[in-house]
Structure 1
């Protein structure tokens, strides 16, 4: 059983933003396995040098791990809804994502699902969110998982943290879904007009 995962972008023999992923693994070990040295990503013996973006999935526990490499194709959405949830905790990258999969299965695959808590936008099911106003990108103050791409962009002053409520969305023109495999520069840009309605989770 591997209770934790790490999803990374692997291209041309390198893990993109490896230090940010290593930091998250270190924090996970510090929290759950404080007397064990963390798994080191530099020690992985990866063999793919195809030149194409691969999704590197690492599953691990205190003493063991396994990894897989697969071609990556980003998901494209035609519309979005907001699901209002409460008491949802995903502060570490757990492999148990049954709650997210349950929500995903309730809607067509072309419908993107944004999450909110107490009317504050947090994340998409698999990504952090950045909203565009003029030439500036804002990411939500509230999040379920502080993603590595989000951290990278913040550390390089490419995005700013803003408290974004569901009623603030109309102040933004477009938004992007970002994660380790979808950097801000190349992620699909969606109109905020594609966000249609909010549904409370207990009403599903």
Structure 2
């Protein structure tokens, strides 16, 4: 079975949203390995030699224990187009190290920068991110993500976004789409709906 990964934002020596990451890691350990043990994430991270200046993606590989951690300098990749890809059989409820199924979908993007995955007619995620859509007044995230991300959960809990059932044909009812993940919040790449290739 593939090991799991967790990506955490490290900015100027501060690890962000650790409770959300810890909850997801422990949920995965319980559901996949049927273990009740909890990873001591904060102790583990602060015992590392980590950068204290700049923006980094902290990438942890784990199963029932942590195997490795690395700190990768992070720069937002420009995204100016998204291609709708239908994938009814894909499963990615846990953040596995093996992303080959997602990578196959990403290879179908043609000239676009990323994909918007649609499963059983419902909008899900992009290759690396959850998505939120703007209707002119509020931001909404699909209620059918492949992977419920930590930034998505944080924005839901703080009331900055709301969950909605979004079918692929509903996408055109929105004005803008934005990609969010552990490294990208409401300041993430934003595109108009016209930049989506259906």
TM-score normalized with structure 2 length: 0.92
* Counterpart position of 1:201: none
* Counterpart position of 2:116: 114
* Counterpart position of 1:190: 191
Q: Give the conservation status (yes or no) of the 8 Å contact 1:9–1:56.
A: yes
Separation in 2, partners of 1:9, 1:109: 29
* Counterpart position of 2:180: 178
Separation in 2, partners of 1:58, 1:103: 24
Q: Give the conservation status (yes or no) of the 8 Å contact 1:126–1:179.
A: yes
Query: For residues 153 and 100 of structure 1, do their structure 2 counterparts lie closer, same or farther at Cα, with a shift above 3 Å needed?
Result: same
| 1:84 pairs with one of 83, 86, 102 | 86
Q: Secondary structure at the match of 2:83?
A: strand
* Counterpart position of 1:164: 166
Separation in 2, partners of 1:60, 1:2: 10
Separation in 2, partners of 1:107, 1:115: 10
| 1:124 pairs with one of 123, 126, 139 | 126
Say whether residues 1:68 and 2:70 are aligned partners.
yes
* Counterpart position of 1:97: 99
Q: Give the conservation status (yes or no) of the 8 Å contact 1:76–1:110.
A: no
Deviation of residue 18 (structure 1)?
0.4
Residue by residue over 1:41-80, the C-alpha shift from the partner in whole angstroms, topping out at 9 and shown as x without a partner, is 1122233344211000000122341000011111212211
Deviation of residue 102 (structure 1)?
2.0
Say whether residues 1:135 and 2:158 are aligned partners.
no
Say whether residues 1:6 and 2:3 are aligned partners.
no
Q: Give the conservation status (yes or no) of the 8 Å contact 1:6–1:59.
A: yes
Task: Provide the aligned C-alpha RMSD in A.
Answer: 1.7
Q: Give the conservation status (yes or no) of the 8 Å contact 2:9–2:57.
A: yes
TM-score normalized with structure 1 length: 0.89
Q: Give the conservation status (yes or no) of the 8 Å contact 2:14–2:52.
A: no
How many residues in Structure 1 have an aligned counterpart in Structure 2?
196
Separation in 2, partners of 1:97, 1:158: 29
Residue by residue over 1:13-53, the C-alpha shift from the partner in whole angstroms, topping out at 9 and shown as x without a partner, is 22110000000011012113334522221122233344211
Unaligned runs of 5+ in 2: none
Separation in 2, partners of 1:161, 1:106: 27
